[in-house]
Amino acid sequence: MEISAWCGERFPILQNLHSEWEPVSPAVAIAWILFYLLLIGNAAFRGTLLQWFDLVFVPVHEGGHLLFGYFGKWIMVAGGTLLQLIVPLSLAVYFLFRRQLPGTAFCAFFFFEQFLPIGIYMADARSQSLQYVTVGDPELAEHDWFYLFSHAGLIQHDIQIGGLVRVLGWIGMLATMTWFALRALRKTNRDPYARGNLT
């Protein structure tokens, strides 16, 4: 028995991954590609468009501290970043099983996009020059990554680690956009109904 068949028998939900993606019209596919190009180009030239999307993740980050606060201080401090990544990743997996290509790509794109502000926050661990939001008394607030890196013995490498995380974010965003473009346009080229040809 093949591994895929074995997994499908025991986990029926995995059988959805063998289904075809829902069709995407050429106009919709091109609109999404232009959307990603706009965001990537704006960020590359130090624009502020992505910062508006990042504001959505601020309460998610702060909520992560509260959610993971029951498991000890270390996981509470790391919980902000964890939930910041878990939310878009979970949504991407949801749309993946629903076989909805635009939703999967959108959530995967912003999963990797969050590597950018996370990398900036990491690189700020020693200098602590950023203004940041906190839950509770700001006088008692502690920089997440100063605490995490200090306990891991990595505080001297905060800038290098932050830079690496940002590079991974850029690679992930570009890879997601490319994957979506290839998958969506190939699908529309093969599907006569997506091109409006009903004969």
The pTM assigned to this predicted structure is 0.85
Long-range pairs, 47-53, Cβ under 8 A, ≥24: 50/113, 50/116, 53/110, 53/113
Confidence of residue 17 (pLDDT cuts 50, 70, 90): confident
Q: Of 116, 97, 101, give the one whose Cα is nearest residue 170.
A: 116
Using pLDDT thresholds of 50, 70 and 90, give the confidence band for residue 38: very high
Q: What angle do CA 33, 44, 170 make, to 5 degrees?
A: 70
Chain centroid to CA 167: how far?
14
- Identify the CA nearest to 183 among candidates 171, 175, 192, 193: 175
Helices (H), strands (E): how many in the chain? Answer: 8, 0
Percent of the chain with pLDDT over 90: 68
pLDDT in tens, 60-115: 999 999 999 899 999 999 999 999 999 999 999 999 999 999 999 999 999 999 99
pLDDT digits (tens, 9 = 90+) for 18-27: 788 999 999 9
Segment 39-72, tens digit of pLDDT: 999 999 888 888 888 899 999 999 999 999 899 9
Taking the domains of the chain in order of start, what are their residue ranges?
24-187
Q: What is the average pLDDT score of the chain?
A: 87
